[in-house]
Structure formats: structure tokens, C-alpha cells
């Protein structure tokens, strides 16, 4: 295994691990209501998905790591709470997955464009 593959793997795996580490205390300490639900799924998740790969990976482009790590996290979440698929909370979580994929892609493209113009 070469160094680039290991960096990408670390950058990808830090996203679901880090998001899970944030999810558990957030869920226990803050609890879930409409405001905290939107705060977590639409603000914290995309910010952490963008930031976490930059802490471990040495590559310049973290889009792949962020998106794959985010997909792994949402797959774990869907698997764990699938029996609650008819609740509004589950529907918001699934909706946030699509929105976060687009949002992270746009933010990453904007950051790369800004970096290239400097």
C-alpha cells in the first residue's frame, strides 16, 4: 500500500468516526428537537465532513474523502435506525444527506477555485 492510498483511507475513515464521536454526546447531552436536528444535520455534519479529512490527510483535494466518509456515516445511521423510517427525524436525516453532498461539493469547488486564483 502506497502512502497516497493510506492518506486517502485515513482521511475517509476519520469522517464517519469523527461524526459518530460528535453524534453520541450531542444526542445524549443536548437531545433532539427541531432546532438541534437542523443544527446537527445541516450545519455540524457538513462543516465536520469538510474539516476532518484536512487533519489527517496530506492530499490537497479532500472532496473524495469527505463525500465517501459522509456516505459511510449516513449508511451506518440508516442501518441503525431504519425501523424508524416513517418518522420526520429520519426523513430530515435522509434529506440532509442529499443536501450535504451538494453543499460539500460546492464548498470544495469554491475553495479550490479560490486557491487556484491566488
- Output the tens digit of pLDDT for each of the chain's 118 residues: 788 888 888 889 999 999 999 999 999 999 888 899 999 999 999 999 999 998 887 777 888 999 999 999 999 999 988 777 788 888 889 999 999 999 999 998 888 888 778 7
CB burial of residue 63 (10 Å; 0-12, 13-18, 19+): middle
> pTM here?
0.89
Task: Tell me the C-alpha distance between 35 and 43, whole Å.
Answer: 11
The residue range of the domain holding 14 is 3-117
- What total number of domains does the chain contain? 1
CB burial of residue 108 (10 Å; 0-12, 13-18, 19+): middle
Amino acid at each position: 500500500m502506497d502512502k497516497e492510498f493510506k492518506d486517502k483511507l485515513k482521511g475517509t475513515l476519520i469522517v464517519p468516526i469523527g461524526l459518530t464521536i460528535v453524534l453520541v454526546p450531542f444526542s445524549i447531552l443536548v437531545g433532539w428537537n427541531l432546532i438541534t436536528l437542523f443544527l446537527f444535520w445541516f450545519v455540524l455534519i457538513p462543516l465536520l465532513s469538510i474539516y476532518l479529512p484536512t487533519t489527517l490527510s496530506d492530499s490537497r483535494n479532500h472532496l473524495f474523502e469527505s463525500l465517501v466518509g459522509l456516505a459511510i456515516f449516513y449508511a451506518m445511521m440508516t442501518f441503525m435506525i431504519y425501523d424508524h423510517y416513517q418518522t420526520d427525524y429520519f426523513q430530515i436525516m435522509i434529506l440532509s444527506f442529499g443536501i450535504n453532498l451538494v453543499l460539500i461539493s460546492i464548498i470544495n469547488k469554491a475553495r479550490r477555485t479560490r486557491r487556484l486564483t491566488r
